[in-house]
Amino acid sequence: MNNHLLALKDLSRERLSSLIDRAIVLKAETARKIHHRQLAGRRVSLLFNKPSTRTRVSFEAAMYGLGGQVIFMSSKESQLSRGEPLKDTARVLARYVDAIVVRTYGQQIVEELARYSTVPVINALTDLYHPCQILSDIMTVIENKGAPEKLKIVWLGDGNNMANSWIEAASVLGFPLTLACPADYEPDPAILEASRRRGPAPITLLHDPEEAVADADVINVDVWTSMGQEEEQQKRLQAFQAFQLNRDLLARAKKDAAVLHCLPAHRGEEITEEVLEGPQCVAFDQAENKMHIHMAILESFIGGTNTP
């Protein structure tokens, strides 16, 4: 069994579904103040090379919530910043902890860590993917709208790390997905092609936001300038103008369409204040669900009792 979580395409439909199902159970149990101790005596290392609010705190809260312990380290403060190889870092950390959660730039960095680590490596965002986020997003879709196979789910904006992971999720879990991206900001073509071959349901790439959101049940938005792309910000502001989720664009979707945003949001850019704070937006439930999905992920990948 593949015991790293680097990309959603590497996991089976059954495993992805069971993580989401388990997170829904854990959320209900947490609400009933049921305490979990499955990971007592286990430790996880968080190795982050980009800023984070939600992913860091929700992984830490999840590990503590399962009775385990967390060691956070910014890459900048580690010997990685002075040139220690990833392969040495992976082998050393694996002697201390039961899993390594990594946020970084290149996907090849998490892949190399996984190659040398004897404990699970979990991708907490790279330039290419954000797999854990998409699992909590799908959980949020299920809670609000039901089975994704029966929905029109739309990705609006940049063909970025989030879009790539949505595409892989659609292909593995077998639900249709519609994306609308500016022509120069499409998702990774190799990921799109492989996912279209893998999945039973259509993955449609459009360039017209109005066409994409027509009758949508779910609309996902994300920042136009991801971490690491700050120098392109002005150019991107121009390119994405027509992709802002505002009242007029949202009116083209179903009346009760759910709006998702992984946050942080740039109000007035990819989404207006009115839509972000409006009744259709579930971004803060989505943020909460990150903690529940991270509990399910840590439980499953580190092991312990009650593992799905």
Residues that bind ligand NVA (CB under 6 A): 125, 130, 160-162, 222-223, 226-227, 262
Nearer to ligand CP, 67 or 264 (CB): 264
244 binding partner (options ligand NVA, ligand CP, none; Cβ < 5 to 8 Å by kind): none
Nearer to ligand CP, 29 or 288 (CB): 288
53 binding partner (options ligand CP, ligand NVA, none; Cβ < 5 to 8 Å by kind): ligand CP
Nearer to ligand NVA, 24 or 227 (CB): 227
CB of 305 to ligand CP, least distance (A): 29
226 binding partner (options ligand CP, ligand NVA, none; Cβ < 5 to 8 Å by kind): ligand NVA
Secondary structure, 3-state, the chain: CCCCECCHHHCCHHHHHHHHHHHHHHHHHHHCCCCCCCCCCCEEEEEECCCCCHHHHHHHHHHHHCCCEEEEEEHHHCHHHHCCCHHHHHHHHHHHCCEEEEECCCHHHHHHHHHHCCCCEEECCCCCCCHHHHHHHHHHHHHHHCCHHHCCEEEECCCCHHHHHHHHHHHHHCCCEEEECCHHHCCCHHHHHHHHHHCCCCEEEECCHHHHHCCCCEEEECCCCCCCCHHHHHHHHHHCHHHCECHHHHCCCCCCCEEEECCCCCECCCECHHHHCCCCECHHHHHHHHHHHHHHHHHHHHCCCCCC
Nearer to ligand NVA, 97 or 223 (CB): 223
Nearer to ligand NVA, 204 or 229 (CB): 229
Q: Which chain residues interact with ligand CP by CB under 6 A?
A: 52-55, 125, 133, 262-264
161 binding partner (options ligand CP, ligand NVA, none; Cβ < 5 to 8 Å by kind): ligand NVA
Q: Tokens at residue 288, please?
A: 């909460």
CB of 162 to ligand NVA, least distance (A): 5
222 binding partner (options ligand NVA, ligand CP, none; Cβ < 5 to 8 Å by kind): ligand NVA
Nearer to ligand CP, 55 or 126 (CB): 55
CB of 299 to ligand NVA, least distance (A): 23
CB of 277 to ligand CP, least distance (A): 18
